[in-house]
């Protein structure tokens, strides 16, 4: 692990969320929409007003990172999703995920 990766892991969830959202080119509005919440919740998460969000998995799916890394910044947790993303409860994945791979869900 590089020093930069370790520094990122030591940031709080708000900083990891903000940095990853911006790296993916998403606004707070779009991230909220894709994760099934709203921009106000994303803003509170990014400013660390909410430290343990209920939607970590949904946010991680949209941002294509590991939920463990997003929540805790564990230096041993990969930032990459190991398996193809699951469809979030609101059944809305960002268009860049649909364009790159197909997701099959048994119903």
Domain ranges in the chain are 3-100
Question: Would you state the pLDDT for residue 49?
Answer: 83
- Whole-angstrom distance, CA of residue 37 vs CA of residue 55: 9
Architecture of the domain made up of 3-100: Orthogonal Bundle (1.10)
Is the pTM above the cut of 0.75?
A: no
Count the residues in the chain: 107
Region of 25 please: left (phi>0), alpha (psi -120 to 50) or beta. left
pLDDT in tens, 21-70: 999 999 999 999 999 999 999 999 999 887 667 888 899 999 988 888 88
């Amino acid at each position: 692990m590089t020093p930069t990766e370790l520094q990122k892991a030591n940031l709080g969830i708000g900083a990891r969320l903000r940095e990853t959202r911006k790296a993916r080119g998403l606004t707070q509005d779009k991230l909220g929409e894709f994760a099934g919440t709203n921009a106000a919740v994303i803003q509170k998460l990014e400013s660390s007003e909410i430290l343990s969000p209920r939607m970590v998995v949904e946010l991680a799916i949209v941002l294509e990172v590991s939920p463990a890394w997003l929540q805790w910044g564990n230096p041993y947790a990969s930032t990459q999703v190991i398996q193809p993303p699951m469809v979030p409860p609101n059944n809305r994945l960002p268009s860049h995920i649909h364009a790159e791979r197909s997701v099959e869900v048994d119903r």
